[in-house]
Amino acid sequence: MKTKLVYIIRHGETDYNRLGIVQGSGIDMPLNELGMKQAQKFYDYYKGIKFNKIYTSALIRTQQSVLPFIEAGYAYQATEALNEISWGVFEGKPQSEQERAQYWSVVNAWKEGNYHAKIEGGESAFELQMRQKSFIQYLKGRNDDCILISMHGRAMKSFLCTLLDLPLSDMEKFEHSNLCLYLLNFEEGTVEVFKHADVAHLQA
């Protein structure tokens, strides 16, 4: 990949995050007040970085998470390739104990290598990764030195596995919280993770 530095953030907090309700790709929930404050804190901390371009998913919560950069004039592009995984029938509603168990059974199936497991009406880990690969190939063809990507928790796990050439069964190694940062350096065919789920900017 020609890009040298890749900053990847998960979006800030939404009301559904606070309530523990799955959003997935089908719920376009905006950031709540805390989420907007998190976005501003990230901007204040990293506004000195000269990003060549900013990429977001097509969902508003990722766009609002980098809104201060966009308002400052940074070039950005929204793409559905970065959307969260679809959680199908579980999206946008509280889950029963039985539904929560089913959710975790799918996640555990991925950990065991069954990447085609999915929630009814949703996407599998394999389908998510295939959607992301076209965007990764697009990034590899660009000459940018420094980019910022704003995306989603599960999508980030898959994205990082693909960038680091790891199996999707390793997704759970990449923990995340609202407006956390992963910073990756690509140089001479090698990839190094400089920051892992970092939230120093939220504590500044």
Helix, strand, coil % (nearest 5) of the chain?
45, 20, 40
Q: What is the dihedral of CA 103, 123, 115, 191, to 10 degrees?
A: -110
Contact between 38 and 17 (Cβ < 8 Å): no
What's the rounded Cα separation, in Å, for the pair 176 and 174?
7
Which residues touch 74 (CB under 8 Å, ≥6 apart)?
51, 53, 54, 66, 148
What's the rounded Cα separation, in Å, for the pair 17 and 38?
14
Q: Which residues are catalytic?
A: 11, 84
